[in-house]
Amino acid sequence: MLTQYLDELIDFVALETVTGNEQANRAAVNYLFARLQKLGFDVQVKGEARTDQPLLVARYGDSGGAPLVLYNHYDVERVRPQEDWQSPPFQLTERDGRLWGRGVADNKAVLLARLSVIESRVARGEALPSMLWLIQGEEEVGAPLAHELFPDELAPFKNSLCIEETGYYRDGAPLIFQKGEAITTGNGESLVASLNSMLYDGKARVETRTLSKFGPCPLIENLPGGSLYLGFGPNDYSARIHRDNESISLELLEQYFTLFDRFLTWCSKLTRALETPCAA
Active site residues: 75, 139
CA angle 73, 77, 83 (to 5 degrees): 150
What are the φ and ψ backbone dihedral angles of 162, each rounded to 5 degrees?
A: -110, 115
Cα separation of 251 and 256, whole Å?
9
